[in-house]
Each structure stands twice: as C-alpha cells, then as structure tokens.
Copies of this chain bind each other. A is one copy, B any other.
Amino acid sequence: MPTPSPSALPGRRGQAARNDGAILDAAREVFLADPKAPIAAVAERAGVGISALYRRYPGKEDLLRKICHDGLRRYIAEAETALAEPDPTTALRGFLERVVVADVHSLTINLAGTFAPTPEMDADAMRAAELSTELFERARPVLREGIVVDDLTLVLDGCAAVRMPTPDRTREIRLRYVEVLFTGLTTDPARPLPGPPPEARELSWRWHDT
C-alpha cells in the first residue's frame, strides 16, 4: 500500500519493491496449495532467501494474516462491484463467480485458525457479511424458498473444495460447479429444503481454535 512506485524503479530499491510483490504472490500460491506449508517454501517460490521474508514480516503468523486480510478485502471489493450491477440475479451470480475465480474463499477456509485476527479484520469481516446480505436480499425473489444468506457460504465452501491438477483447470471446473449450484439455488421444486438452515454462529467456529 505505501509502496511509492510499483516496480519500475531501478537499483536495490526497485529490487526490494519487486520482492514485496513476489513474496505476496508466492505466499498466496503456496499457502493455497498447502495451508501448512513451511515458510521456506514461500521463499523458494518467490526466488528469494528466507531473510527477505523476515525483513518484511515479524513471523509466519503475520504473513498469514496479511494474505488472509488481503483476500477479505478482495471479497469486499467484489461484493461492492456486484452491488453496482442493476439486475440482482446477474449480480449474485457474477459475485459468486468472481469470488470463486479469485480463490478468496479457499484462503479464508484453509487459513482460519492459524493466526489471531486483528480488530480491523473483524470489522472487515462484519462489513463483508453486510454486503453479502444485501446482495442476497436483493436476489431473494429469484431464489428457492428456504435458502438463507449463510447458504452462500456453504456454496463457496463447496466450490473451494474442488481441486484439479492445475490452477487453470481448477478455475474452469469451479465455474462449472458454480453454474450447477446457482441453478440449484434459483430453481424451486415442490420439495422443501431439508434440515434447519445454517446460522452465522455455526460458520464462525473455524476462527476459534478447538
């Protein structure tokens, strides 16, 4: 964020600025593939030494937090983008697709519990919940009866679980999956939905170590 210039300035400073980005990219990829990956794997993928990591972050947990918080912000941004779309159905579908493609939810799920959330993250999480709810409420008329906001979380959980040999293929298949799920959400057969719907309380348990 406070990086003066993205990447193009020369010399040692430029190298350092480029490393900033490389480390974050590497961390996202590595921790997405394996949430328990060693920090050395991140350094290797970024093409830097371990000390380049520790120069920027006091410890592993801080890096994890950063990655996760960035994901949360991305989620919020996508929700805001979706709310600018006039048609509620298109808005919700597009939102789900973009969140799935950005792989934001995988981060949230896999990294939950591995670090202590900051108050700022709690605030952002609350905002994310508000935006999701608004998106959901707008689309409610086209949704199957009985579906609740927190069902969206489960849908994203399910999509995040789909894994293919390559990241590109994973994206393709997840979009296919979103299509099936969205059809399921927006089609109302006679049959009622089974079981009590999920509640927010049941979904936040991941954040507190068992």
Contacts and interface: CB of A to CB of B under 8 A. Distances in A.
Contact of A185 (B158, B162, B180): B180
Contacts of A175: 194-195
Contacts of A165: 202, 205
Contacts of A184: 180-185, 187
A161 B161 contact: yes
A183 B187 contact: yes
Given A160-B161, A161-B157, A161-B160, A193 B172 contact: no
Nearest to A197: B176
Interface in A158-177: 158-165, 169, 172-173, 175-177
A12 interface: no
A94 to B, nearest CB: 13
Interface residues on A, range: 35 or more
Given A158-B162, A195-B172, A181 B179 contact: no
A163 B161 CA distance: 11
Contacts of A196: 172
Contact of A176 (B160, B172, B194): B194
Contact of A158 (B147, B158, B191, B205): B158
A176 B164 CA distance: 25
Nearest to A170: B202
A189 interface: yes
Given A154-B173, A157-B161, A180-B193, 6 more contacts: A154-B177, A161-B161, A173-B195, A176-B198, A182-B184, A184-B184
Interface of A: 144, 147, 151, 154-155, 157-165, 169, 172-173, 175-177, 179-185, 187, 189, 191, 193-198, 202, 205-206
Task: Give 10 nearest A-B pairs by CB, closest first.
Answer: A161-B161, A184-B184, A158-B158, A172-B195, A180-B184, A183-B184, A187-B187, A176-B195, A165-B205, A175-B194
